[in-house]
Homo-oligomer: A and B are copies of this chain.
Amino acid sequence: MTNEKKKYWVGFDLGATKLLAVVFNDELEIVAERRRKTKAAEGLAAGFKRIRETIEQALDAAHISTADVAGIGVGSTGPLDLDKGIILETPNLGWGETPLKATLEKAFDCPVIVLNDVDAGTYGEYRRGAAMQARCVVGIFPGTGIGGGCVYEGKIIRGRRNSCFEIGHIQVLPNGPLCGCGQRGCLEAVASRLAISAAVAAAAYRGAAPTILKNAGTDLAEVRSSVLSAAIEAGDKTVEEIVRDAARWLGIGAAAAVNLLAPDVIVLGGGLVEAMPNIFADEVRNVARKRAMPAFRDAFRVTVAKLGDYATALGAAAWVQTVLLAGHDKR
C-alpha cells in the first residue's frame, strides 16, 4: 500500500504532439506543471528521456522529491494494453511497443497506472469538471479522430485489456465516406476535425470560404480549430454549415450512447469544441434529444468540458489516487 507520508500525485498527459506533467496534492489541486513538445519523431529512447525530464521538472517546480510521489497516472494516446501499461504500436508516435508503466515505475520508484487519454479526460471531468459525481458520464472528444470515454458509477468502463468507447467508429452513414479504420461511414469519417477541415479546404478552393482561403489557403493541415472559429465569426456561412453538420452527426453518435447507457451527462471536449463551444453543445443537444428514446430525452444534459487541457492529467492523477487508496486492482 501507499506510504502515508507520500501526499503528491503526478498526472501525465502523453499526446502525439504535447507532453504535460502536473503535480497534484491530495486534494487534487495543482501544485506545479511542466509542458514540452513530444517530438515523437526523435524515437523511443529520446521520447522516454523527454517524458522523464518533464516529470522531473514539474517535481522541481513543485519543490518535491521523487520520494514524495505516491503514484503517477498517465493518460496516453493509444492503442494501449492497460494491464501491462504498454502503448501498442501506433503511427501516432512511431515508437513500436512502448513499456510505459514498467519504465516509469523503475525511474520514479512508485506505482504507475496507464489509461487511455480520453478515458482519463472523462474521469477528470467527472471528478473536478463538468460532470462532477454524475452516475453515468459519456465523454466525446472530437479531434483528428473522435475519442470517447464513459464513467459509470465511479468506474471507467473498459474492455478486457484495452480501453473501449470507440464512439468515433460506430457507423452513422451506410456506405458513407471511407474512415481511417478501413470501414465506411464511421462517425469519425463525417464529424472529426479532419473531416471538417477537408470539407472546409474544398469549400475554400471553390471560393465558398473566403476567410479560410485568406488565412489557411487550401491546405487542410492549416485549417485548425482557431482558423475555423475565426472564419465563422467573420461570416463564412459555408464554414459554419460544415461545422454544424459535423456537430449534428456527433449528436447522432451521442444519441446512440444515450439509447444504450442513459447517461446523466454528455461532456464534449477537445480543441474543436473549446473553439466553438456553443455550436457543438447546441447541435449535439438538439439532435441527441430528438434521437433519444422518450424516456431518456429529458434525463441527460449536454455540456462542454471545464478543465480544458488539464482534464487528462487531472483524471489520470485522480484515478491512480482512487485505485491505490482503495487498494483496488492496479489497472
- Which A residues contact B (CB, under 8 angstroms)? 79, 135-136, 148, 150, 152, 157-160, 162, 164-167, 169-174, 181-183, 252, 255-257, 259-262, 264, 290-296, 299
B293 & A181 in contact (Cβ 8 Å cutoff): yes
CB contacts (< 8 Å) of A159 on chain B: these are 136, 261-262, 295-296, 299
Would you list 11 pairs from A and B whose C-beta atoms are within 8 A, ordered by A residue?
A: A79-B295, A150-B260, A152-B157, A159-B262, A159-B299, A162-B295, A166-B260, A169-B259, A174-B252, A183-B290, A257-B260
Known A-B contacts A167-B260, A174-B173; the reply to A294 vs B252 at CB < 8 A is no
Chain multiplicity (copies): 2
Q: Which of chain B's residues has its CB closest to A294's CB?
A: B181
Option from B164, B169, B171, B262 in Cβ contact (under 8 Å) with A162? B262
Option from B157, B164, B183 in Cβ contact (under 8 Å) with A296? B164
Q: Which of chain B's residues has its CB closest to A150's CB?
A: B260
CB contacts (< 8 Å) of A164 on chain B: these are 259-262, 296
CB contacts (< 8 Å) of A171 on chain B: these are 172, 252, 255-256, 291
Taking A166-B259, A174-B252, A181-B293 as known contacts, 14 extra A-B pairs with beta carbons closer than 8 A to each other, sorted by chain A number, are A136-B159, A148-B260, A160-B299, A162-B296, A164-B259, A167-B259, A169-B293, A170-B255, A170-B260, A171-B255, A171-B291, A181-B294, A257-B260, A260-B261
Known A-B contacts A166-B260, A166-B296; the reply to A160 vs B135 at CB < 8 A is yes
CB contacts (< 8 Å) of A183 on chain B: these are 290-291
Q: Which of chain B's residues has its CB closest to A299's CB?
A: B160
CA distance A157 to B160 in the complex (A): 17
CB contacts (< 8 Å) of A256 on chain B: these are 170-171, 256, 260
CB contacts (< 8 Å) of A157 on chain B: these are 152, 261
- Shortest distance between the CB of A176 and any CB in chain B (Å): 9
Option from B165, B295, B296 in Cβ contact (under 8 Å) with A260? B165
Q: Which of chain B's residues has its CB closest to A155's CB?
A: B153
CA distance A294 to B166 in the complex (A): 11
Q: Which of chain B's residues has its CB closest to A168's CB?
A: B259
| Most chain B Cβ neighbours within 10 Å, of A157, A159, A162 | A159
CB contacts (< 8 Å) of A294 on chain B: these are 181-182
| Most chain B Cβ neighbours within 10 Å, of A150, A169, A256, A260 | A260
Ranked 10 nearest A-B pairs via Cβ:
A159-B262, A164-B262, A170-B256, A166-B259, A169-B259, A166-B293, A169-B293, A170-B259, A162-B295, A165-B260
